[in-house]
Structure 1
Amino acid sequence: MTELKRDKGSAWALFPLLVFVMLFIGTGILTRDFSSMPLNVAVIIASFIALAMNPKEKFLKKVEIFTKGAGHPNIMLMAVIFILAGAFSTVAKGMGAVESTVNLGLSFLPANLLMVGLFVIGCFISISMGTSMGTVVALAPIGIGIASQTDISLALAMATVIGGAMFGDNLSMISDTTIAAARTQQTQMNAKFKINFLIVLPGAIITAILLSILTRGNVATVAGDFHYDFIKVLPYLAVLGAALFGVHVLIVLLGGTVFAGIIGMIDGSYSFVSFLQTVAEGIISMEDLAIIAILIGGMVGIIQYNGGIDFLMNFISKRIKSKKGAEFGIAGLVSAADIATANNTISILMTGPLAKQIADEYDVDRRKSASLLDLFASCWQGIVPYGGQMLAAAGLAAISPLSILPYSFYPILMGVCGIVAILIGYPKTKKSDKIAPQPAALPTAEDQLTD
């Protein structure tokens, strides 16, 4: 394959990115708390360092470059999607959708398949909610209750919850990781879902089998009256169905929020005013991530202008000799970013533009590159003991995150499935399907984007 011609670039231009990553590692080691460095503070520090570099360039020029990268139409669209996803998730939770969905599943669980059922419920909730953290918080108390009434290990129960949460985080059409992966690779989210699902499905099946074997002798039941209203599950089903049919994500999220609000007002969960207030709370809950995405867009714009992206492309291109090598390169990039930042969305935002260039140069299917970004970011997010999901589950269960690692079957199997998919070229795609129709203004590395 003919290699794209590009400048050699500058390794020094990557210094702001190095600072951004080291702020997490250094602060985490010093404080023994890898959540002690707020993402927004880290990216602001790194952004100011980026603006301070290249002193020969006028500061106003650098500010212009920064704002162009931060304010690209696709970055703005992503920010709107993030806050609408927060609105839907909060409104649905407030009207009882999470509780009803959990109880619906628990009501039909066979006594000897509690962990399998917990994993399946986690998969459904996370793919419906689009948030692994929300799923962990919703299901961890149920997992703790199951463990307390059986001889099932508490660490196994928490690992099962995390596994189910990461399934949907990787696949949900309203997950910020899916949004970021699909947009950076310029592919449709429903198209990415189909490829991604085929890759990770074996891992989910094997996880269910392992959980069944490990808990085979347990016939205890979970006490309690698991009341549910099926009508409260409908917003999740509607959002999932509309997204799978390719309805634009803005319409899906806005419609889902209104639908959940109407059900809430009918059953008395909301008044019109409280519904609006809940929408505002959901928007606020995602504002931080939207701002981080905008700032990273500006920072990477400066890094690219100074030659950092060209340097990385040359560095990686010299080591990539084939299409499979390109896919492993994409997987390695996002894996390293997630291990460093313990945030799968941010790791995709950081590496997405470079992954897009690699995919284009080595003829990697855009759906496949988006799937690899999301898959490997979510894989490591479910394994690193200082990740938010692991810390939340361990904290609620009052156990060490390290005790959960030996039972982290699904996150590990996600990575294994991804590696196998690269090695055997799975799934096979038709050449005519590789490039899906796209809106006019979508991100490229040349546009100095980071989404």
Structure 2
Amino acid sequence: MRQGKLSGLLPIGVFLILFIGSGILFQNFYAMPAIVAFLIALAVALIQNPKKSLNDKLRVVTQSMGDENVMTMCLIFILAGAFSGAVQAAGGVESTVNFGLSIMPPSIAVAGIFIIACFISVAMGTSVGTIAALTPIAVGVGDKTGFSMAMCIGAVVCGAMFGDNLSMISDTTIAATKTQGCEMKDKFKENFWIVLPAAIVTIILFLLLAGKSDYNIVGDLDYNLFRIIPYLVVLIGALIGFNVFVVLLLGTLCSILVGVLSGTIPFASIFTVIASGTDGKGGIMSMYDITAISIVVAGIIGLVKENGGIDYILSLIKKRVKTNKGAQLGIAALSSLVDISTANNTIAIVMAGPIAKDISEEFDIEPKRTAALLDIFTSVWQGIIPYGAQLLYASAGAAAVGIAITPMEIIPYLFYPILMGVCGILAILFSKSTRSNKN
């Protein structure tokens, strides 16, 4: 391993200072768009190491940006956006939610919301989309039953993070598997058995807290089973191991067909909903930011690695980690810290992924285990931090229907993200050391 240099990490430090500093200064962690902070960090990386010419540095940057895994990841982001825009326009979200609530026994109201959120987030691959779809319904359940509004919304966030972590069309899964070079289905199996106990205990906790109360949902719960088909196509196709490109294309085509036949998507609007959703902000357009960020981050990481930053982290971890399990704990800590700092689990995975890959190769950890750890521990913190998009969207969704709930009020009910972290640590401590298959 080359001699590492702390100075090689300067671009990452600059990004964190800018991003966190602007959030504290303006009391808004989205005051500075992440892409702006990353571009400044890239400029800093290009200024470093004056012994190398600018052309040489740009060559490193563009080679890293054009990496096969990075480009594949970006293409999948775009296809995931197309499916999201089409399926929402087709009315699949509303029908899926109403169907679940229509058949739900009265004794499992809040636990049922968690389960529905799990299903939708796995099918949609987006936690924010799930929260946006279900928060108004969760508020309605709380209003009509007397349950804590924060608890009902907490159940939505818990379920949303379940799918964000596990869904094979989630951008976090895409980023984790592509940065580690493993198959999505292998990561899913590795990940699923780690977090399953957390989901089961979460259901039990919600049943204990709210299961003894009766409720009677009043309102329109009309649903159309025909509109649920796109979700089933994506979910089943992903679980049986279809290529993610095939899954997303089938889901998008199925959504368009269902929308046109059911009258929710005018024939003339087919391409519009794919490109920008029903509100002009969804669809493929909603993936522009994360696609651009992924490319820029890849370039930054390329220079960070070239300037010895990653080798410095590796040597630092190596001094403190002597075992395979210790290295896994190091990856968990690394991904956690980056997510807390960036408030975006996909960005955190994109940033930490190359470093985690080097650690896993150094300590002989299977790529599927590393991908699972990255996704689990970034999702843990993304589902808890009050300045993350998930809790901010949950709070805003409640406000949209006239209920004031702050992110801090929801945090005590975020059982699943907390338990997911506990299960992740236990899986590392009490499982046999994972070994990659090396020749």
Matches within 5 A, 1:116-195: 116-195=111-190
Note if 1:399 corresponds to 2:394: no
Residue 169 of structure 2 aligns with an amino acid whose one-letter code is: I
TM-score by length of structure 1 reads 0.92
Cα distance, 1:248 vs. partner? 1.1
Identify the match of residue 28 of structure 2 among 30, 33, 56: 33
Residue 325 of structure 1 aligns with an amino acid whose one-letter code is: G
Identify the match of residue 6 of structure 2 among 4, 8, 11: 11
Q: Give the aligned partner of residue 289 of structure 2.
A: 288
Cα distance, 1:271 vs. partner? 3.1
Matches within 5 A, 1:223-262: 223-262=218-257
SS in structure 1 at match of 2:145: coil
Distance 1:264 1:184 in 2: 35
Moved more, 118-127 or 247-256: 247-256
- Identify unmatched segments of 5+ residues in structure 1: 1-5, 437-451
Distance 1:261 1:128 in 2: 16
Distance 2:137 2:323 in 1: 47
Deviations 1:54-89 (A, max 9, x none): 122111111111111111122111111001000101
Distance 1:285 1:293 in 2: 14
Cα distance, 1:165 vs. partner? 0.3
| 2:69–2:179 CA contact under 8 A, matched in 1 | no
Distance 1:92 1:333 in 2: 35
Q: Give the aligned partner of residue 279 of structure 2.
A: none
Q: Give the aligned partner of residue 265 of structure 1.
A: 260
Distance 1:243 1:164 in 2: 19
Distance 2:255 2:223 in 1: 15
Note if 1:24 corresponds to 2:30: no
Q: Give the aligned partner of residue 348 of structure 1.
A: 349
Residue 431 of structure 2 aligns with an amino acid whose one-letter code is: G
Distance 1:348 1:74 in 2: 13
| 1:187–1:435 CA contact under 8 A, matched in 2 | no
| 1:112–1:217 CA contact under 8 A, matched in 2 | yes
Moved more, 186-195 or 127-136: 186-195
Matches within 5 A, 1:386-425: 386-397=387-398, 398-425=404-431
TM-score by length of structure 2 reads 0.95
| 1:40–1:288 CA contact under 8 A, matched in 2 | yes
Cα distance, 1:249 vs. partner? 0.9
Residue 374 of structure 2 aligns with an amino acid whose one-letter code is: L
Moved more, 211-220 or 377-386: 211-220
Distance 1:125 1:419 in 2: 27
- Identify unmatched segments of 5+ residues in structure 2: 277-282, 399-403
SS in structure 2 at match of 1:149: helix
Distance 1:288 1:409 in 2: 30
SS in structure 1 at match of 2:288: helix
Cα distance, 1:361 vs. partner? 2.1
Identify the match of residue 199 of structure 1 among 189, 194, 198: 194
Distance 2:203 2:25 in 1: 39
SS in structure 1 at match of 2:241: coil
Residue 259 of structure 2 aligns with an amino acid whose one-letter code is: G
Distance 2:323 2:275 in 1: 48
Deviations 1:84-120 (A, max 9, x none): 0001011001010000110110011111211010000
Deviations 1:99-142 (A, max 9, x none): 01101100111112110100000000000000000000000000
Distance 2:319 2:383 in 1: 31
Moved more, 129-138 or 235-244: 235-244
Residue 420 of structure 2 aligns with an amino acid whose one-letter code is: M
Cα distance, 1:225 vs. partner? 2.9
Matches within 5 A, 1:75-90: 75-90=70-85
Cα distance, 1:29 vs. partner? 0.9
Distance 1:287 1:406 in 2: 34
The structure-2 alpha-carbon separation of the partners of 1:43 and 1:179, relative to structure 1 and needing over 3 Å to count, comes to same
Cα distance, 1:272 vs. partner? 3.3
The structure-2 alpha-carbon separation of the partners of 1:435 and 1:81, relative to structure 1 and needing over 3 Å to count, comes to farther
Distance 2:146 2:271 in 1: 45
Residue 336 of structure 1 aligns with an amino acid whose one-letter code is: L
Cα distance, 1:151 vs. partner? 1.6
Q: Give the aligned partner of residue 204 of structure 2.
A: 209
Residue 310 of structure 2 aligns with an amino acid whose one-letter code is: I
| 1:366–1:435 CA contact under 8 A, matched in 2 | no
Cα distance, 1:315 vs. partner? 0.9
Cα distance, 1:394 vs. partner? 1.5
Give me the identity figure in percent. Answer: 49
| 1:180–1:349 CA contact under 8 A, matched in 2 | yes
| 2:380–2:421 CA contact under 8 A, matched in 1 | yes
Residue 103 of structure 1 aligns with an amino acid whose one-letter code is: N
Deviations 1:176-226 (A, max 9, x none): 000011111111001110111100000000000000000133102111231
Q: Give the aligned partner of residue 442 of structure 1.
A: none
Cα distance, 1:35 vs. partner? 1.9
Residue 45 of structure 1 aligns with an amino acid whose one-letter code is: I
Distance 1:195 1:234 in 2: 28
Residue 51 of structure 2 aligns with an amino acid whose one-letter code is: K
Distance 1:299 1:361 in 2: 22
Distance 1:8 1:419 in 2: 31
Residue 33 of structure 1 aligns with an amino acid whose one-letter code is: N
Residue 358 of structure 1 aligns with an amino acid whose one-letter code is: I
Distance 1:188 1:216 in 2: 39
Note if 1:363 corresponds to 2:364: yes
Cα distance, 1:435 vs. partner? 5.0
Distance 1:177 1:126 in 2: 12
Residue 396 of structure 1 aligns with an amino acid whose one-letter code is: G
Distance 1:359 1:424 in 2: 18
Deviations 1:381-426 (A, max 9, x none): 0111111101111222221211111111011000001011011117
Residue 405 of structure 1 aligns with an amino acid whose one-letter code is: I
Q: Give the aligned partner of residue 274 of structure 1.
A: 269
Cα distance, 1:236 vs. partner? 1.0
Distance 2:216 2:33 in 1: 41
Moved more, 183-192 or 169-178: 183-192
Q: Give the aligned partner of residue 382 of structure 2.
A: 381
Q: Give the aligned partner of residue 333 of structure 2.
A: 332
Distance 1:117 1:211 in 2: 9
